[in-house]
Amino acid sequence: MIEPKNKNKLTFATIEVNAGLKKAIALSRADIIGELKESGMKGRGGAGFPTSVKWNLAAAAKGEKKYVVCNADEGEPGTFKDRLILTDYADLVFEGMTIGGLAVGSDEGIVYLRAEYTYLVAHLEEVLAKRRKDGLLGKDILGKKGFNFDIHLHMGAGAYVCGEETALIESLEGHRGEPRNRPPFPVDTGFNGKPTIVNNVETFAWAAAIYAKGGAWFNGLGTEKSTGLKLFSISGDCEFPGVYEFPMGITVADLLKEVGGSEAKAVQIGGASGHCVPAADFNRAIAFEDIATGGSIIVFGPDRDLLDIAENFLEFFCEESCGQCTPCRDGNPKLLEGVQLLKKGECSMQYLNELLSLAETMQLASKCGLGQSSPNAFVSIATHFKAEILGRTGKAMQGGK
Amino acid sequence: MLVTERDRMKDQIYALADQLGRERSSLIPILQEVQKAYSHVSSFAMQVIADALGIHPVEVNSVVSFYSFLHTEPKGRFVLRLCRTISCLMNHSEKVAKQLENELGVKFGETTPDGKFSLEYTNCLGMCDQGPALLINDKIYTHVTPDKVHGLIEECRAIFGVHAMQQKEGH
């Protein structure tokens, strides 16, 4: 397996492993969460919930047993930065989880790893074994009496929806990965009904970095509402695909310049569940207050047929919908049919508008993030590229590859 | 004493249940182990697992049918899963798909008659910057092109040969 060289240097490479844990271990629980609060970090999975708030709620929740869960079910199309973090910086992830355990009062961490990444298991087990040997996991960690914490891996079994935190918990409990109604939230009623924090791989790694370098350092980077740095998985029609680190708030145009993709006619930001951003909007910023993303960036060159892309994403959602709620289960096949009609040039504007109205219903009425976001790509393509998608006469005219 | 396959499987499942715990949360890990050993989870296995965990077999079936990496029918010794997500498609994974079908003589979703290879599509493998990506059992291959497909399959056949020999010697 060939691992491409990072095109820009990641901050993770400069962080001294365990420096953050050593610092956190000397702090009170309130001060640990305070440091995270100062950093202003929002969850790196893409939903953008402030991590310190999540930790604080779990810390305040009553219960002897609590869990720290690392969401390593990286399944969003176009995302691969968690794979790189787990390969190169697993220590930082486990360190972040350990600090999380300290902050919320948990003694058990679980990494929910997607089945597709089974080849990482041996490496991760090795890192865990070394940490146990070095007194960084187990009983009385780093000599702190009563601070017990250990981490084990739990394998997923191939279901995209399990990246949604309540579906992930259902899966951990041995059920179908069907999202739960919220509230109650996992911080209160999580795995086995116990208070649980579920954070993304990257979030835990940044947490370790934040304790090593200070919350103020992180807060000074990025934008006011989206602090800090973020990893991006960049693929598609660009010269240098790979994992990049940029401060939050970078514009789409600047990002494209870095990766050699300035000719793009559109960029898919946020994976299949994200938005297709047209060239006219490349001055917009990638940040929670503008275009939010978990880090998936797919670049589309001038020759790409956007209906092929919408079709691919909708096929994905038809298959990955858990089937629990109607808008998502029945809506996605209807949208897919619509895209296929558009491809054949047999879709009227009236019908397209009906599809857009259906998409809105799905966004409003679906139970979880999967169904709520599955129409996004279709809606943005249908909104921004009407001239390209309507009135097709046949294959030769499409201009696609 | 003659031990039937079913008795052996039953003992194995109960041993697994004891080892992993008889809680509901052990269900998926048990299923994964059973599948590793028998290449699928049969109706009989589901019944035994249900008994061992004290749940209804339909509960076990509902879980097996939900997850794409669990299956109730035997699969080939090698399961080839080609990524069909957009980034790999933009790197012409459809050509790799065609060549895989040509080399194996089966379509996607099928298993070769000799039981060696199953061909499947899968969603994003997290190798979007290095596509097309192909997962063979637990091993990932990147930058797969149609001309490389034959070699990859030969590699599997070679492993299969060694494996079969070892099994023979073991008995």
Write down the domain spans for chain A.
Answer: 11-219, 229-300, 306-397
Q: State how many domains chain B has.
A: 2
Lowest mean pLDDT among A4-13, A345-354, B115-124, B136-145: A4-13
Per the structure, the complete domain to which residue B24 belongs is given by 5-66
CB-based contacts of B100: which residues, under 8 Å, 6+ apart? B80, B82, B119, B149
Q: Structure tokens of A69?
A: 């869960």
Looking at residue B91, which CATH number applies to its domain?
3.40.30.10
Say how many residues make up chain A: 401
Interface ipTM: 0.92
Residue B41 maps to a domain: yes
Flag whether B73 is in a domain. Answer: no
Is residue A175 within 8 angstroms of chain B, CB to CB? yes
Chain A interface includes B63 (CB < 8 A):
yes
Same domain (yes/no): B27, B108: no
Q: What is the reported pLDDT for B163?
A: 55
**For a pLDDT cut of 70, what percent of chain B falls above it?**
92
- Which tens digit of pLDDT belongs to each residue from B124-156? 999 999 999 999 999 999 999 999 999 999 999
Residues of chain A with pLDDT > 90, as a percent, come to: 94
A contacts of B85 (beta carbons < 8 Å)? 77-78, 272, 312, 316
Instruction: Report yes or no: A125 at the B interface, CB cutoff 8 Å.
Output: no
Give pLDDT tens digits for A163-218.
999 999 999 999 999 999 999 999 999 999 999 999 999 999 999 999 999 999 99
pLDDT beyond 70 at A397: no
Q: What's the rounded Cα separation, in Å, for the pair A39 and A211?
A: 9
Give the strand pairing for B117-122 and B78-83: parallel
CA distances from A345 to A276, B103, B161 (A): 21, 36, 52
Give CA–CA dist A356/A34, Å, rounded. 44
Class of domain A306-397: mainly alpha
Tell me the pLDDT tens digit for each residue of B69-108.
999 999 999 999 999 999 999 999 999 999 999 999 999 9
Looking at residue A322, its amino acid is C
- Tokens at residue B7, please? 């008795």
Same domain, B58 and B87: no
Quick check: is B160 in a domain?
Answer: yes
Q: Grade residue B1 by pLDDT with cuts at 50, 70 and 90.
A: low
Q: Tell whether B166 and B94 lie within a shared domain.
A: yes
Is the CB of residue A174 less than 8 Å away from at least one CB of chain B? Answer: yes
Compute the distance between CA of residue A352 and CA of residue B7 in angstroms, rounded to an integer: 59
| Residue type for position B80 | L
Is the pLDDT higher at A271 or at A6? A271
Which of B49, B59, B129 to mutate to test binding with chain A, by most A CBs within 10 Å of its CB? B129
Looking at residue B171, its pLDDT comes to 37
* Closest residue by Cα to residue A359 from A331, A317, A337, A319: A331
Q: Is the pLDDT of residue A339 over 50?
A: yes
Say if residue B42 is in the same domain as residue B82. no
Looking at beta carbons, which residues of chain A come within 8 Å of B67?
Answer: 115, 156-159, 177
- Predicted confidence at residue A9, as pLDDT, reads 87
Average pLDDT over residues A95-111: 98
Beta bridge partners of B111: B118
Shared domain for B96 and B161, answered yes or no, is yes
> How many CB contacts within 8 angstroms connect chain A with chain B?
121
Tell me the C-alpha distance between A359 and A216, whole Å: 41
Picking from B66, B86, B141, the nearest residue to A77 by CB comes out as B86
Query: Per-residue confidence at A3, pLDDT binned at 50, 70, 90?
Result: very low
Compute the mean pLDDT over every residue in chain A, rounded to the nearest whole number.
95
Asked if residue A34 has pLDDT above 80, the reply is yes
The domain defined by A11-219 carries CATH number 3.30.2230.10:
no
Structure tokens that stand for B17 in this block: 């249940």
Please check whether residue B16 lies inside any domain of the structure.
yes
If asked whether residues B56 and B88 sit together in one domain, one would say: no
Residue ranges of B 5-34 with Cβ closer than 8 A to chain A: 23-29, 31-32
CA dist., res. B71 & res. B81, Å (int): 14
Picking from A174, A298, A304, the nearest residue to B27 by CB comes out as: A174
Quick one: B131 and B157 in the same domain? yes
Least confident of A3-7, A127-131, A255-259, A266-270: A3-7
B162 and B127 within one domain:
yes
Average pLDDT (A33-45) is 96
Boundary (domain end) residue, out of B25, B44, B66: B66
A28 to chain B nearest CA, in Å? Answer: 33
Which run of H or of E encompasses A297? strand A296-300
All residues at 6 or more sequence positions from A87 whose CB lies less than 8 Å from its CB, including other chains: A3, A120, A123
How far apart CA A26 and CA A347 sit, in angstroms, is: 64
| Helix runs in A173-220, H state only | 201-213, 215-219
Tell me whether residue B72 is in a domain.
no
User: Once rounded to an integer, what is the mean pLDDT over residues A283-311?
Assistant: 96
Contact between A266 and A260 (Cβ < 8 Å): no
Q: How far is CA A138 from the centre of its chain?
A: 29
Pairwise CA distance, residues B16 & A305, whole Å: 51
Q: Are A340 and A310 in contact (CB under 8 A)?
A: no
- Give the model's pLDDT for residue A395: 57
Question: What is the per-residue pLDDT for B48?
Answer: 98
Question: Do B50 and B90 belong to one domain?
Answer: no
HSE-CB of B7 using CA atoms within 13 angstroms? 4
Cross-chain CB nearest to B142 (options A2, A268, A304): A2
Count other C-beta atoms under 10 Å from residue A330's C-beta: 13
Using CB atoms within 10 Å of the CB of residue A219, give its burial: 0 to 12 exposed, 13 to 18 middle, 19+ buried.
Answer: middle
User: A229-300: which CATH architecture?
Assistant: Roll (3.10)
